[in-house]
């Protein structure tokens, strides 16, 4: 009788732990739709749908951009607090004189943070492709 109770409690605890883990990892994932080609660390991302994942603690994270099951680009990013939640998903770019614009920041609808991908201050960012 005690074994059945312990087993049931263990199963419930395991289910709760797995559900919590799934919820926590979902917080570090987002979808990205690009309407124009952009570059990121020398890689050109063509228009289309991508998944974005980031890992790390604190404001500095490692960002991975995935299309289908293929990793397209990896880079470091900095989490920046926004004064108000983003109105929509947005890929913020800076204009290049030749070739596609450079991806400098990502914003996600309803979130009060952005992922800064630029190596310099965000003062020079321009609005870019958005969903």
71 token code pair: 């990793």
Q: What's the rounded Cα separation, in Å, for the pair 128 and 51?
A: 18
For residue 18, what pLDDT band results from cuts at 50, 70 and 90? very low
Ranking 45-49, 114-118, 119-123 by mean pLDDT, the lowest is 119-123
Give the C-alpha separation, 66 to 103, whole Å: 15
> What percentage of residues in the chain have a pLDDT greater than 90?
63
What's the pLDDT tens digit per position in 66-110? Answer: 999 999 999 999 999 999 999 999 999 999 888 899 999 999 999
Whether the CB-CB separation of 112 and 81 falls below 8 Å is answered with yes
The per-residue pLDDT for range 46-71, each reduced to its tens digit, is 999 999 999 998 899 999 999 999 99
- H-run or E-run covering 102: strand 101-107
């Amino acid at each position: 009788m005690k074994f059945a109770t312990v087993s049931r409690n263990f199963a419930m605890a395991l289910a709760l732990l797995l559900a919590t883990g799934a919820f926590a990892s979902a917080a570090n994932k987002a979808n990205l739709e690009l309407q124009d080609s952009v570059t990121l660390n020398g890689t050109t991302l063509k228009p289309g749908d991508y998944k974005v994942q980031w890992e790390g603690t604190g404001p500095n994270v490692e960002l991975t951009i995935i299309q289908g099951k293929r990793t397209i680009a990896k880079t470091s990013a900095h989490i920046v607090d926004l004064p108000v939640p983003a109105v929509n998903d947005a890929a913020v770019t800076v204009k290049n004189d030749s070739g596609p614009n450079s991806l400098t920041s990502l914003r996600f609808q309803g979130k009060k943070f952005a992922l800064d991908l630029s190596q310099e201050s965000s003062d020079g960012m321009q609005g870019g492709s958005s969903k």
